[in-house]
Amino acid sequence: MAMAMAKNIRVYVLMIIGGLALSCNAATYIVGDTSGWDISTDLDSWSQGKRFYVGDVLVFQYSSSQSLNEVTRENYNTCNTTNVLKAYTNGNTTVTLSQPGQRFFVSGNRLLCLGGMKMQVNVENNQSFSPAAAPQPPPQSNSLPRPSSKTDNDGVPSGSTRLVIGGKEALGIVFACYVISLAFI
């Protein structure tokens, strides 16, 4: 009885670890990096070259005298701050990119928006957050694009966190869990 129970536990642990290894693929971006959501931040340059995926998170940090609005494309282009989709004022706003498509953010102050305090992001589908799709051919290049154009000394993009476990790492974790589960037999 104890032997069968230990085997069941081992199978459950492997299933959980395997599921985590396949689904941990989201990034958190601090909009504007250390400058934050501010008129002095070049938001176009900050977002340029980044790829945003379903499941990624944008963190907007701004002073209590500022605000953030999510708007339509038309309101983005005209800096219309009176007809918004969502308004935020808490100074530390987290927005999860839950579906693919264009998202548009502007300052709640129309003059600041006209001065460039606005940002649009294109959210791409992410296979780990969507139904299975047909396999895509591998990219021609041997290097994968980085989620951020800025990097710290260790090569990790600044202002973002992306936990990707796959390939050898996933197999290593599953094997380690299997060995650990043997100790419970």
Alpha-carbon span 89 to 60, nearest angstrom: 10
Cross-strand pairs, 104: 71, 120
Output the CA torsion 117→123→128→129 (10° steps): 90
Contacts of 120 (CB under 8 A, 6+ apart): 47, 73, 76, 102, 103, 104, 105
Supply the pLDDT for residue 55.
Answer: 94
Supply the pLDDT for residue 60.
Answer: 96
Supply the pLDDT for residue 44.
Answer: 87
Task: Compute and round to an integer the Cα radius of gyration of the chain.
Answer: 21
Kindly report the pTM of this predicted structure: 0.58
Digitized pLDDT (tens) for each residue of the chain, 185 residues in all: 555 545 555 544 434 444 444 445 789 999 999 989 999 999 989 998 899 999 999 999 999 899 999 999 999 999 999 999 999 999 899 999 999 999 999 999 999 999 999 999 999 997 654 444 445 555 554 444 444 444 444 444 444 444 444 444 444 454 554 555 566 56
Alpha-carbon span 182 to 150, nearest angstrom: 43
